[in-house]
Structure 1
Amino acid sequence: MLAELSIKNFAIMDELHISFQKGLTVLTGETGAGKSIIIDAIGLLVGGRGSVEYVRHGEKKAELEGLFIIDDTDHPVYHKAKELGMEIMDDHMLVLHRTISQSGKSICRINGKLTTLGILKEIGQTVLDIHSQHETQALLNQDKHIELLDYFRMSSQQDFKTDYQKLYAEWKELKAKHESNTKNEQELAQRIDLLEFQLNEIGQANLQPNEDELLTNERNELHHFETIHKNLNDAYNALHGEQRGLDWLSHAANNLEEAGEHQQDIKKIHQQYVDHYYLIEELSYQIRQHLDNMDYEPGRLGMIEARLHEIDQLKRKYGQTVEEIMTYSAKIEEELDEIKNRDQHLANLASMLEEVTHDLLLEAKEIHNIRQNTARQLEEAVLSELKDLYLEKTDFKVDVAILNREKGISFEGKKVMPNENGLDHVRFLISTNPGEPVKELERIASGGEMSRIMLALKNIFSQHQGVTSVIFDEVDTGVSGRVAQSMAEKIYNISNGSQVICISHLPQVASIADTHLRIEKVVHDNRTHTTIQELSFDERIDEIGKMITGEELTETSRTHAKELIEMNLKK
């Protein structure tokens, strides 16, 4: 649930802190008081589109922060966080933070760690679901209908599309390869010429693994040949010869040996000293050997420079290292072989594509059958909900059809083209008048009816969606009377499984709430401020009484408001 919300310098709000409770929380207040601004702030907090217009006039930035408490460790947010490489605190707290600067830059944090807006949105969508009056427009978009139908199915069978989607990914890859290999002859001939030229150019260079690194090291040694030779020679001469290093070390060894004959501790020192003496003597022989092996070839440096220049030319075309160039060579050699033997390769691809297409269409047909059965179940569920919302004469249908395409694959007498969802086109159809045929939602439903249809669907899906908080922003617009009471009960029913925060102008909704918050706009020092207050029982009566009359509170409206509250308390 959303436990705390902090808003600072956002729109007309300077600073606001709100504590939310479980169950149904209703926000009421006059138009323009800032109710919808609070919902906008929550929407941005969970990854919504930001704008510099949200930054309060005269301020440098707007800050939003929300504390969510998710006690259920099996909640989808835990799986999503793990998938994104994040952790939720041991105390089951999730803190989302977002800052929008005056320049338009957005900074996002999850549990104090910087993150991207995309990740903030992915996490936010698993814990909070916002529905506004405008969002009913999603129901008018037929592209969304298949998602809703599949979501209804996934509440009981999560993986019903898994096999199809694996086959679809394989089919799409094979199809792309097949199309790529059936290009026209001129393009293939040009490609062959290019690949043969590149392969020949790399082959003539006769590259060896790590050759560039070895040559670079050798070039460095040749550039400093004189310095290396002089210092090695001086080091060797400092050790060997009369009155030189090893000579003096030998004298010291003799002295220690003689002294050790009379004291045991010195004898041990002598033994250690002798071991190191022999080691230094061995190193001096290695220095001599290295000097004997050093041979300066005047032309060798030029040869190395020329070879490195040749390798650098290849690097500009084919890779940053010799290994990358050799890998590229192997890749184009394979491609060249496929093109030259494309008839056989095409035949193999066509055979594989035909086999996968056959399996794909069978899976798509199975999904089509599942969707048709699911459609009947969804129809029954929606009609039951609509009946409760006094749309009992409404006829609701879910049309699941495989459309005939102009271009595509032959299947059961049609031309079809698979996509990530299968072959189906899904439409929600409705008739609100008996005897009239069902038609698309946008051609039939009024604003009030759309609100009720959306609420019916939300009530169905909320049982399986898993979000911790659901927000309704004036979704009850355009209804009144017994319909309003029914909508209030539907909204309250959703709050039994999820925290619900609802902006409403209906006294029926306000009276059924577990918590009632009043939003007010006040002016101090010629600046507008927004305040929020949790109402007591008597204050709720007055607020709901004003909602009933529209403006002036009367004793009759107070009595009616009290009756509404008490009636809902008894349920």
Structure 2
Amino acid sequence: MNILTGETGAGKSIIIDAIGVIIGERASSEYIRTGKQSSTVEAVFDCKNNDVAKLLEEYGIENEDNLLFIDREITVQGRSFCHINGKIVPASVLKRLGKHLIDIHGQHQHQSLLDSQNHLLLLDLLGSEDVVEAKKKVQDYYRQYRHLTKKIQDLEKNRTEFNRQKDRLKYEVDEIEKAVLKLDEDVLLEEEKQVLQNAEKIYQVLESSYNIIYRGEDTPSIIDNINKIISGFEEIQNFYRPICSHLDFLKNVLYEFEDLTSSIRVLRDSIEFDPQRLDEIQSRLELIDRLKSKYNMSIAELMEYKQQAATRLDEVYNIDEEIDNLKIKLKDVMSKLAEKATELHSLRVKIAAKLERDISRELKDLGMKNIKFSVNFTQQYDEHGIDIDNAKVRISEEGFDQVEFLISTNPGEPLKPLAKIISGGETSRIMLALKNIMAKVDNVPCLIFDEIDTGIGGRTAQIVGEKLSMVARSHQVLCVTHSPQIASLGDIHFLIKKQTIDGTTFTQVSELTGSERVNELARMLGGAKITDNTLAHAREMLELAKKIKNLKKA
């Protein structure tokens, strides 16, 4: 718990403004010293936070051991330049990041708890694991609901188009199916066509070849001549050995020619001119070519297309049945979603009731006895929503609750949103009450309370200080105060004062320890004139504060 004190006009607001600049608040050229061209604010955060880590990753910023180095320069032209860990970023990134780093509680200052969009999240955080489990069930059914709804919408949207396609698909499937196509059939038929068209020529060549090799007519055949050569070689082989290898070669050649003549004979005898078969092939090729040209596809592609078209046709025939089945499933999912969302709502109502009691107790301790605090639940109605208690209600992954914290600061006044609170002191104390309750679940690590003591003193100021000290056990707290009771409970005390050097005014911040701190508390207690009594009172306050903090820790 860090206390910042100083006389009026010492520059406490400058420090708060500087922190606001760092977390993305409006940067005014008024913050620049007269005669200078720019002003720079720098800050270092030691922050281990998953939300911060995700943001840094989103913008490609290195996370250096959970340390954040942020600086922002403001120029007289009204421009500003922002850096996070050395990388330049827009001011909007600082604003997004700032929400996870600091809450400033003071009149007209940035306060996350005043934003109604955060109230549901804060309420759920108080519910701990029970709410997490209940929300998980809602989210599971919500995802099923969205999936089924979209699927039905897509099918219904496409049903007209499907029906329009039905006749065309049926015709195409029938046409390709009747053709009974076979893979590479056109290539094989074309080869057979060539044979039939040239049957006479083929037969003549084969017959002539057969005669030359085997059957010789006017002259001996090749086989006869080889046999004659073999006979001659056999007569001389016994007394002329070099001829033996050639004799073996000729015998092998003879065997090859005999096999060749056999094959030629089979081929020759298979050749016949069949005009009817040629007509059949021609007709078949014309059918295939027409289909290939019509669809601009090969036979393989036509066969695949037919399968796809048949599948599509099945979808067309079954679409109404599919939509009906999906609607039955959707009805069941909607019923379960409504049930789980209602259970989540009931759980939130119980948490809200406890929060209302706890806040009332806290505010009473803080001297705000007449304040009424309420958690207001509303739902958004939608004709396309889900039935909840005979009404069509819009549901999301968070359920159907819209939550806003309301408050009435004076008897007889109606409850209003927290953001409508006018008094800075009231706002800060209400925020302190909320923070004290939510200390264990609130993820914003640094809280700044600016003049939380406005309009209070004595015992109430003491209680405010004690509660700030409690919050400081789980958060870093910076508190600007004029109250000695609150200041005495700080763990670290800083003095803010103005100093003029060579005609130029500076605001200085220095840490107070020992007698310096006693003197500052005495000044806050007794004003400009410090007496031995006020010094003794200041020491007594510090001793009492030490005991209170030790007791709270115990």
Give the TM-score band, short-chain normalised.
0.5 to 0.7
Partner of 2:309: none
Aligned pairs for 1:39-188 within 5 A: 39-70=16-47, 77-78=52-53, 81=56, 85-90=60-65, 92-134=66-108, 144-154=118-128, 158=132, 160-165=134-139, 167-168=141-142, 171=145
Partner of 1:540: 517
- Shift of the alpha carbon at 1:500? 1.3
Q: 1:269-306: CA deviations, max 9, x gaps?
A: xxxxxxxxxxxxxxxxxxxxxxxxxxxxxxxxxxxxxx
Partner of 2:466: 489
Cα distance, 1:169–1:478 mapped onto 2, change above 3 Å: farther
1:423 corresponds to 2:392: no
Cα distance, 1:32–1:101 mapped onto 2, change above 3 Å: same
Cα distance, 1:53–1:361 mapped onto 2, change above 3 Å: farther
Q: Is the 8 A contact 1:396 1:438 kept in 2?
A: no
1:456 corresponds to 2:430: no
Amino acid at match of 2:349: Q
2:339 to 350, 362, 375: 362
Measure the CA separation in 2 of the matches of 1:147 and 1:459: 17
Amino acid at match of 1:147: L
Cα distance, 1:175–1:103 mapped onto 2, change above 3 Å: farther
Q: What secondary structure sits across from 1:465 in the alignment?
A: coil
Larger displacement relative to structure 2 (46-55 or 423-432)? 423-432
In the alignment, structure 2 segments of 5+ residues that lack a partner are 165-313, 549-554
Amino acid at match of 2:477: V
- Shift of the alpha carbon at 1:390? 4.4
Measure the CA separation in 2 of the matches of 1:107 and 1:133: 27
- Shift of the alpha carbon at 1:485? 0.5
Measure the CA separation in 2 of the matches of 1:395 and 1:83: 42
Partner of 1:517: 494
Cα distance, 1:53–1:363 mapped onto 2, change above 3 Å: farther
Q: What secondary structure sits across from 2:542 in the alignment?
A: helix
Partner of 2:540: 563
Measure the CA separation in 2 of the matches of 1:495 and 1:467: 12
Aligned pairs for 1:205-216 within 5 A: none
Measure the CA separation in 2 of the matches of 1:161 and 1:407: 22
- Shift of the alpha carbon at 1:139? 6.0
Q: Is the 8 A contact 1:371 1:400 kept in 2?
A: no
Q: Is the 8 A contact 2:406 2:418 kept in 1?
A: no
Measure the CA separation in 1 of the matches of 2:433 and 2:329: 46
Measure the CA separation in 1 of the matches of 2:36 and 2:96: 29
Higher CA-based Rg: 2
Q: Is the 8 A contact 1:41 1:64 kept in 2?
A: yes
TM-score, normalised via structure 1 length: 0.58
Aligned pairs for 1:25-40 within 5 A: 25-40=2-17
Aligned length: 401
Percentage of pairs with the same residue? 39
1:378 corresponds to 2:352: no
Q: Is the 8 A contact 1:136 1:451 kept in 2?
A: no
Partner of 1:284: none
Q: What secondary structure sits across from 1:531 in the alignment?
A: strand
- Shift of the alpha carbon at 1:401? 5.5
Measure the CA separation in 2 of the matches of 1:156 and 1:36: 42
In the alignment, structure 1 segments of 5+ residues that lack a partner are 1-23, 193-336
RMSD: 4.4
- Shift of the alpha carbon at 1:143? 5.2
Q: Is the 8 A contact 2:338 2:387 kept in 1?
A: no
- Shift of the alpha carbon at 1:177? 7.8
Measure the CA separation in 2 of the matches of 1:517 and 1:88: 30
Measure the CA separation in 1 of the matches of 2:415 and 2:500: 50
Measure the CA separation in 2 of the matches of 1:403 and 1:446: 29
Aligned pairs for 1:386-465 within 5 A: 386-391=363-368, 396-400=373-377, 408-419=385-396, 421-428=398-405, 439-440=415-416, 447=423, 448-465=425-442
Partner of 2:275: none
Measure the CA separation in 2 of the matches of 1:358 and 1:492: 48
- Shift of the alpha carbon at 1:489? 0.7
Q: What secondary structure sits across from 1:559 in the alignment?
A: helix
- Shift of the alpha carbon at 1:108? 2.7
Measure the CA separation in 1 of the matches of 2:89 and 2:116: 34
Aligned pairs for 1:293-372 within 5 A: 354-372=331-349
Measure the CA separation in 2 of the matches of 1:437 and 1:62: 45
Partner of 2:479: 502
Q: 1:432-488: CA deviations, max 9, x gaps?
A: 899x89944669988455443321111121222244322212223222111111001
Measure the CA separation in 2 of the matches of 1:530 and 1:482: 32
- Shift of the alpha carbon at 1:136? 9.1
Q: Is the 8 A contact 2:360 2:373 kept in 1?
A: yes
Measure the CA separation in 2 of the matches of 1:67 and 1:553: 37
1:473 corresponds to 2:447: no
- Shift of the alpha carbon at 1:559? 3.3
- Shift of the alpha carbon at 1:28? 1.3
- Shift of the alpha carbon at 1:492? 1.2
Amino acid at match of 1:509: I
Measure the CA separation in 1 of the matches of 2:410 and 2:14: 38
Amino acid at match of 2:525: I
Amino acid at match of 2:494: L
